[in-house]
Structure formats: C-alpha cells, structure tokens
Structure 1
Amino acid sequence: MATVRLVPTVRRRRLGGTLRRLRNEAGVSIDAVSEGMAWDPSKLSRIENAKAHLPVKDVARLLSHYKVTDSAVITALEGLAQDANKTGWWTTYGNVVADGYKDYIGLEEDAASTHIYAQGLIPGLLQTGAYAREIIAGTAPHLAPDDVAALAEVRKKRQAILTDSSRPNGPLKLWAVIHEAVLSYRSAAQPSLMREQLRHLLDMTDLPNMTIQVMPKDAPAHPGMVGPFHVVRFPSPWPTVINLENIRGGYFVEGTDDVQAFESGFELIVAAALPVDDSRETIKKIMEGTPS
C-alpha cells in the first residue's frame, strides 16, 4: 500500500508535491522550467522537496510553464504558498504533541470535510474534556499527568473547526460512524462520564455540518471491521488523504487507488450503520441507562 509520512511542514510538502505532479504531467524538466524562471535548477528542486519557500508572486508565473490556466487551481496554490511557512497553534505545545499528530492537525485545519469510522473510541473531535483525559491517560500510560492534561486541551482546541464560520470553507463537515460498543464504555473512576459524553454527542447532532451514525452490534460484515480510519477531504485541487491509527500514532495513505478503496469502504460502512434518526435514538437510550 502506498503511504506517505508527512513532516511538520505539511503545507509546504503538499505545495511541493502538487508542483512536482503538475510539472511531470506537463512533461517538462526541472532544467527547462528553471531556465524559463531564471532560477538556479536547485531552487525548483528544493521547492518541490519542501526545502525552500515559493513566493506567492511567482506561483502563477511558474504554473504558466505547466500550461495551468485554471484560476481556481492558481488561487489555491497561491493560498498554500502564502500559508506554507505559518506555524499552527499546536506547535506551542512542543514535544507533547507528536510529529505525526501535528501533521494530522495541520491537515485537519485545511480540510473541507472528514469522514470517520470509530471502532473503539469516540472521535477526538466529539470528545468531552473529561472523556479525553481518561482515554488519553488509559491509552498512553507512560505520559505524565501534565502531558495528559495538555493533550486533552489540544483535543478540545481542535474542535473549534466544527463551528468556525471564518474558515475558507466554513465549519468542517464531519460524518462519524461510531460503533455501538463505544457508547457503552463505563468509567470506574467517573460513573457520570459517559452520560455527559453521550449528551454531548446528541447536542452535536444539532449542528448542520454534523452527521453521526451508530454501527449496531448486530450489523452485517463491513469494511470497518478491519479497523478505524479517517477520510480527510480538501477543496480542489488537493487530493483526499486517509489517516490510519494504531497504538503508536497514525500514518497517511495518499495513493489514488488506496484512497478510493477507503472511500468506497466508508460508503459500505454508512449503509451498514443505523440511519441518522435511529442512531440518535440509540444514543439517547444508552444515555438514559447510564449513571448520572
């Protein structure tokens, strides 16, 4: 399976990779383009490999060598070039936030929508603070209490994209399919934890950009049984990225055929899950049977 390990300068990597693809599709060499731009050949190579900055004023001129005239593509690349060197709010947490997690948050910030199949946990974008702290402490027992609190804070800050209308594409559109077993988690230390978490899920279903479905325990076999994943979609011309999670963090899948497999898999997961209204009733029923 084709995978790409993104680095912290994720926007710069996306810009460089797109420029390389467009150059290859145009069938022109680095030397030829560099001559036309009056650049040293090493400059374009460094830009494509995310090791050099591309000034916004040079984007359209560079794209003209690739015969790219679509104004939407040019504008998108100019925007990415402008933001390529910006550091995200998550960088202020230093090494507490692992590089792979920083990469994912950076992608999430630019995304138009995210489709998630959650098999063992409530998705981070839908977690309450108390649930986040307990889950982080339980799944990463090596972390100090201060680090657990910091990561829970990061998780809550991520959730701002669900209601931020100032984003270029508006609030992130989130479609989450959550396995029913996840809703039945019980905390020995905090008996009311899940009641609060389930109430939060119900509240989130009121948002127009939110779709939440429950995968019932008696659902037929479906692709999600293999494991959880995120389908992260961006405005054109950026390709969709898949994020796969495991106990050591996550990694990205970007190959066209691989992405299509996960997108098709998510459609089958949606079909196997309860309809939205039935899912809401299931969450409410489980919540009402949970200690307050």
Structure 2
Amino acid sequence: MPRDIDPSLNRRRLRIELRKARENAGMTQRDAAKALEWSLSKLIRIEAGTVSLGVTDLRALLQLYEVADPQLVAELEDAARGSKGQSWWAQYSDVVSPQYALYLGYEGSADVIRMYNPVILPGLVQTADYATALLSAMTPETRLRQQVDLRLTRQERFFDGDDGPEIDIVLDEASVRREIGGASVMRRQLDHIQELAQHPRVTLRLLPFSAGAHYSVTTPFILLGFKDDDDLLYLEGPGGGLSSRDDLDLMASYQECFEEISAIAYEGDRMSELLATVRESLDNG
C-alpha cells in the first residue's frame, strides 16, 4: 500500500520548518516562548514533533519569525491541519511502547533505512510464522496476534507499492541458522529472504561467522537517513531507544560499523549460496 501522509510526518515537517525559521530570526526557544507568553515546554514539544499544532498557534509563530512566503505559509497550515489525528500504529497502542511509537514516526519519513541484528532476523524480513514463533516465547498470548499484525502491517507499508525508502539490511549468519519455529518455518523464512532480495528498493547482505568480532556484535541497531535532517540512531532491546542527535560520537560509531560489516558481508550470488546451504541443512536435519 502507498505510504499515506501520517500525522507524525506532518508534525515532522512543522518541526523542521519552525526550528529553521526561529534560528533564522535569531531567537532561542526561550525567547520565542517568552514573546508568545507560552511555556517553554510547549515550544520544545512542538519543535520535537511530539504534539500536534493548531493553525492559530502556527500563525502566531510564523508572524513572530517573520515568515511571509505565501506558498510556505499555506503548506505549513495544511501540515498543521494534518498534524492531528491518530497514526497508523494507534490500533496497536497496547503493544507499542512510547519509545517505539516515537521511532515509528521517524521511520515513516526516512529516505534511507539501514539495519543490523546479530541474533535474530529483523522484523521487516520476518514471515508471519517466524514472527509468531519468535514472539510467542516472550509475549503473553493475549497480545501475540497484535504484535504479529503490527509487524506485518509495518512491512506492507514499506514493500507494497513503488513509493518508499531505500532499505539496506545486513543479516547475520547466526540469525539465519537459529531455528525459530522449527525446520519448516525456517525453510519458508529463508525462501522469503531470497524473494525479498529481489525487491527494487531493498539491499540484503549476509554477514558470515568468519567476519569475527565488530563494534555491534551484541547490539541490534537501525540507522535512519533523511535528506532534510540529521540521521537518527535507534538501538533495539529493553534498554534501547532513539539516540540524541547531539551524541555525534555514538552515531559515528554505528555508521562506521555498518559500513564495515557491509563491506565484508556476502551479497548477491554469494549470499544466495550460503542461504541455500543453510536451507539444505534443514532438509537433512
């Protein structure tokens, strides 16, 4: 399905343009909040893209920042009207943490998504059977169906249709050899990976055991790239979440790690051959 304009994307457009306008006006967040007699926290939330913005408040900001371009004003007013309402994942709110909801908002507007998981297959490549088997080991039965549906809906939004980001995934040999759900589930899962590798916006690589240790050998991570904003890092796991844009050293470490493992990972025919070898071992097991 095409990626419709989610409220979180409109809030992101407002966040970028309003921060740029404030900085062009030579004002700090505290200056702007004081001039409008707003609380500082209100302005911070608007510029963080975590709340919707009414047209009246938008116009007050644009007037303060002396933004007068009719086309830009009209576009931002449309974005403000579209910043309200529920995001696509609202129906899964029982199983989406606040941190993950924030991530999904950014993911939906990314131009490039790069990811690596050293232990299991990333959610974007999982089949329904694999996801069910994996999540059943850690999710209450009452929430299992919702968790699986969330993953499948997320996949549909990226892979069904011509529009969407470039997706670059490095799989780990450990993840394709770990039998989640048994041999038959894994055979179908490996076939699915082979099919997904043919998608025009997807690049799949496979990091072999022989690669040895590297910076993220124990940590799954996702890098989101934007044409009009700084990259974002999402560290997966119980203690994970979006990193601060100000933590440049941490971001650089994971960017370098992704480049390093991508350079030594198998791709194309070599990846397909290793996947076929793993599948054959399942047939003979």
| TM-score between the two structures when normalised by the length of structure 1 | 0.77
CA shift digits 1:228-278 (9 cap, x unpaired): 210012331x321111012x2631113251323322221112112123331
* Partner residue of 1:149 out of 145, 148, 152: 145
CA shift digits 1:45-91 (9 cap, x unpaired): 6243235614299479729837898x8x9898667545432312211
Unpaired runs of 5+ residues, structure 2, are 1-6
Report which stretch shifted further, 227-236 or 150-159: 227-236
Partner of 2:45: 49
List aligned pairs for 1:1-292, cutoff 5 A.
Answer: 12=11, 15-16=14-15, 19-20=18-19, 23-24=22-23, 26-29=25-28, 40-42=36-38, 46-50=42-46, 53-55=53-55, 58=58, 62=62, 65=65, 81-138=80-137, 140=138, 143-165=139-161, 170-187=163-180, 190-236=182-228, 238-246=229-237, 248=238, 250-256=240-246, 257=248, 258-291=250-283
d(CA) in 2 for partners of 1:159, 1:93: 15
Q: Aligned-residue CA RMSD in angstroms?
A: 3.6
d(CA) in 2 for partners of 1:100, 1:79: 27
Which residue type is aligned with residue 261 of structure 2?
I
| TM-score between the two structures when normalised by the length of structure 2 | 0.79
Query: C-alpha displacement at 1:11, in angstroms?
Result: 6.3
CA contact (8 A) 1:129 1:156 kept: yes
Change in Cα spacing, 1:288 to 1:133, as seen in structure 2 (3 Å) is same
CA contact (8 A) 2:131 2:148 kept: yes
Query: C-alpha displacement at 1:40, in angstroms?
Result: 3.1
Report how many aligned residue pairs link the two structures.
271
Which residue type is aligned with residue 185 of structure 2?
L
Classify the secondary structure of the residue corresponding to 2:198: coil
Change in Cα spacing, 1:222 to 1:80, as seen in structure 2 (3 Å) is farther
d(CA) in 2 for partners of 1:160, 1:228: 22
d(CA) in 2 for partners of 1:201, 1:34: 50
Which residue type is aligned with residue 22 of structure 2?
R
CA contact (8 A) 2:216 2:254 kept: no
Query: C-alpha displacement at 1:23, in angstroms?
Result: 2.3
CA contact (8 A) 2:221 2:236 kept: yes
Change in Cα spacing, 1:67 to 1:114, as seen in structure 2 (3 Å) is same
CA contact (8 A) 1:233 1:240 kept: yes
Report which stretch shifted further, 197-206 or 249-258: 249-258
